[in-house]
């Protein structure tokens, strides 16, 4: 089916009108707008659980949790109720000079979950990364080591699109054009083989993890005096195509960062809040905690922009001083929004009351069984699974595969956004077995129709 045909499917009146207004007025994220000339926007009117509905009543299964944020479904009654109650008492107050119950309770509960007792709030994931980088840089200055200014990131890493975050991102498509604006940081090999060289041991190749750890060791040995921090997406490099790796790497990275006096920043923006099977991916390494954890996305169950950087007493103490300039003077107007913090608290309540981590662990084997025909499909390579993420590469010569697959899936009422030739499922945790199977069946039907 051509993209133009798909476009005509969305051409009923209310849908078409909203799409036309959107294309005339909204500059959409991560998008070459010209492609929307024949590649449809999906005009969403409402959401309910794992389903989104367009203006004409057609439903779409949100198979990617709306860019990895939604955990407990759209229009979740419990999060809705918590937000309505919060709305009726306090929507927002600046967090400089003031404080409020939701921000405090959330910081306390996140400290309990991570062991890191100082929470600095922001809005999106990239702003959390900026904060962690700035805090690390400033820490070393405050403790008399001002030459530690560089950051180390993994090859294929993704940490966001603002300039600081982009400077520790290694995805050429996002980064290359802005090269002249970015700080010159250091890239070290990721603990995963290239997707073109994966073997049967993928994704848990301990040898790859050790090899990459040795590269990190060489780097830190030679340049630790100029390195402030190492930033890492624990266990899964999401935007690089759900590249999963062995926790051994995190153990070694923690040892090395400690040995060479370099901060370790765990970017759990995608992996946090149960996505990899534990509340935070880092804990699967059983290594001592990182110096900074960046959280966002699932933190509010997908409701409101909120991010948070958690750090240690040692880091906090280095800023605590009579001199104003030694403090961390970073801010955003909506830092610690009461509404966003309330959504996060309601999300944590659901984790506790529904025993979500255990429930997901119980459901995953069944979902894996449904995936068996995919795993065995002749076009599927490197099928992998961790927690509530399933991914594989497609063997096809079809160009613009991601767009083709997206359009085919949308026509079938399924919202999936492949990354290159990598197809992945990252549904809200409330997906039931029947719906998961339906998602797999639709995917299989699309694969069976590819003839290139
Ligand atoms: C690991 C990681 N870090 C940072 C970000 C940036 O988050 P945001 O898009 O909210 O700025 C993302 C977004 O996908 C991410 O996956």
pLDDT, tens digit, for every residue of 110-133?
Answer: 999 999 999 999 999 999 999 999
Residue 368 Cα to ligand 1 midpoint, Å, equals: 27
- SS3 state of residue 365: helix
Element (H, E) at 137: helix 125-142
Which helix or strand (DSSP H or E) is residue 439 part of?
helix 433-449
Angle separating helix axes 248-259 and 206-223, nearest 10 degrees? 10
Answer yes or no: are the C-beta atoms of 325 and 80 closer than 8 Å: no
Give the residue, out of 160, 161, 334, with the most ligand 1 atoms within 8 A of its beta carbon, to mutate for a pocket test.
160
Give distance in angstroms: CA of 80 to centre of ligand 1.
25
pLDDT score of 4:
42
- Ligand 1, residues 69, 128, 158, 302: which to mutate, most atoms within 8 A of Cβ? 158
Dist. CA 171 → ligand 1 center (Å) = 13
> The dihedral of CA 12, 69, 384, 393: what is its sign?
positive
Q: Dihedral angle at the C-alpha atoms of 337, 340, 346, 349, nearest 10 degrees?
A: -70
Best of 167, 239, 244, 307 for a ligand 1 pocket test (most atoms within 8 Å of beta carbon) = 239
Instruction: Give me ligand 1 centre to Cα 58, in Å.
Output: 29
Note the pLDDT of residue 320. 98
3 Cα–ligand 1 center, Å:
29
**Ligand 1 midpoint to CA 14 (Å):** 32
The answer to whether residues 430 and 72 touch, using CB atoms and an 8 Å cutoff, is yes
**Alpha carbon of 336 to ligand 1 centroid (Å):** 18
- Ligand 1 nearest-atom number relative to CA 233: 1
- Please write the tens of the pLDDT for every residue from 236-295: 999 999 999 999 999 999 999 999 999 999 999 999 999 999 999 999 999 999 999 999
Q: Ligand 1 centroid vs 8 CA: distance in angstroms?
A: 33
Alpha-carbon span 395 to 416, nearest angstrom: 18
Nearest CA to ligand 1 atom 7: 125
Residue that has been written with the tokens 């085919």 in this structure: 408
Helix and strand tally (H, E) in the chain?
16, 16
**Ligand 1 centroid vs 295 CA: distance in angstroms?**
9
In this structure, the residues whose C-beta lies within 6 A of any atom of ligand 1 are 124-126, 129, 158-160, 233, 238-239, 267, 269-270, 296
**The pLDDT value given to residue 205:** 83
Structure token pair of residue 309: 């950087």
Q: How many CB atoms lie within 10 A of CB 98?
A: 9
Query: Which positions of the chain have pLDDT values less than 70?
Result: 1-11, 194-204
**Letter string b/e over residues 326-354, b meaning 16 or more CB atoms within 10 A of that residue's CB:** eebeeebebbbbbbbbbbbbbbbebbeee
Cα 17 to averaged position of ligand 1 atoms, centre (Å): 31
Cα 169 to averaged position of ligand 1 atoms, centre (Å): 10
Task: Say how far apart CA 452 and CA 446 lie, in whole Å.
Answer: 12
Strands 422-425 and 414-415 turn out to be: unpaired
Strands (E), 113-261: 118-122, 150-154, 186-188, 227-232, 236-237, 243-244
Atom of ligand 1 at shortest distance to CA of 238? 16
Q: Give the span between the Cα atoms of 441 and 172, in whole angstroms.
A: 33
pLDDT of residue 204: 63
Specify the length of the chain in residues.
452
Ligand 1 atom nearest the C-alpha of 68 is 14
* Ligand 1 atom with minimal separation from the 237 CA: 1
Over the stretch 2-36, which tens digit does the pLDDT of each residue have? 444 444 545 579 899 999 999 999 999 999 999 99
Can you give the pLDDT at residue 372?
Answer: 97
pTM of the model: 0.95
- What pLDDT shows up at residue 451? 81
* Residue to mutate (ligand 1; options 131, 171, 297; most atoms within 8 A of CB): 297
**Nearest C-alpha to atom 9 of ligand 1 is from which residue?**
125
């Amino acid at each position: 089916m051509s993209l133009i045909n798909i476009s005509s499917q969305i051409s009923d009146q209310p849908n078409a009108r909203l799409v036309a207004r959107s294309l005339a007025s909204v500059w959409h994220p991560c998008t070459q707008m010209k492609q929307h000339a024949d590649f449809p926007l999906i005009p969403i009117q409402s959401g309910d659980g794992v389903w989104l509905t367009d203006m004409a009543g057609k439903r779409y299964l949100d198979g990617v949790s709306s860019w990895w944020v939604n955990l407990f479904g759209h229009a979740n009654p419990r999060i809705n109720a918590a937000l309505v109650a919060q709305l009726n008492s306090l929507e927002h107050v600046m967090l400089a000079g003031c404080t409020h119950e939701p921000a405090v309770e959330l910081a306390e509960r996140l400290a309990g979950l991570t062991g890191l007792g100082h929470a600095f709030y922001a809005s999106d994931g990239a702003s959390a990364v900026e904060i962690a980088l700035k805090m690390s840089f400033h820490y070393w200055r405050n403790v008399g080591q001002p030459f530690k200014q560089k950051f180390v990131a993994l090859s294929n890493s993704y940490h966001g699109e603002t300039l600081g975050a982009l400077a520790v991102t290694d995805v050429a498509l996002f980064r290359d054009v802005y090269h002249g604006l970015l700080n010159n940081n250091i890239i070290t090999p990721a603990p995963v083989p290239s997707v073109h060289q994966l073997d049967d041991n993928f994704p848990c190749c301990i040898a790859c993890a050790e090899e990459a750890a040795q590269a990190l060791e060489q780097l830190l040995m030679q340049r630790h005096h100029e390195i402030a921090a190492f930033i890492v997406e624990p266990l899964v490099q999401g935007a690089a195509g759900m590249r999963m790796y062995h926790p051994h790497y995190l153990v070694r990275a923690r040892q090395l960062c400690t040995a060479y006096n370099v901060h370790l920043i765990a970017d759990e923006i995608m992996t946090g809040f149960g996505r990899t099977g534990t509340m935070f991916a880092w804990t699967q390494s059983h290594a001592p905690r990182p110096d900074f954890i960046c959280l966002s996305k699932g933190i509010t169950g997908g409701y409101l922009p909120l991010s948070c950087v958690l750090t240690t007493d040692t880091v906090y103490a280095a800023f605590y001083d009579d001199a104003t300039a030694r403090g961390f003077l970073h801010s955003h107007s909506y830092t610690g929004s009461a509404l966003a913090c309330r959504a996060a608290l309601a999300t944590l309540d659901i984790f506790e009351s529904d025993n979500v981590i255990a429930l997901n662990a119980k459901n995953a084997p069944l979902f894996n069984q449904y995936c068996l025909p995919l795993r065995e499909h002749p076009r599927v390579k490197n099928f992998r699974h961790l927690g509530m993420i399933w991914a594989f590469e497609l063997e096809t010569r079809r160009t613009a595969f991601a767009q083709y697959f997206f359009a085919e899936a949308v026509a079938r009422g399924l919202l999936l956004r492949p990354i290159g030739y990598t197809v992945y499922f990252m549904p809200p945790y409330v997906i039931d077995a029947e719906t998961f199977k339906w998602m797999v069946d639709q995917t299989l039907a699309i694969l069976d129709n590819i003839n290139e």
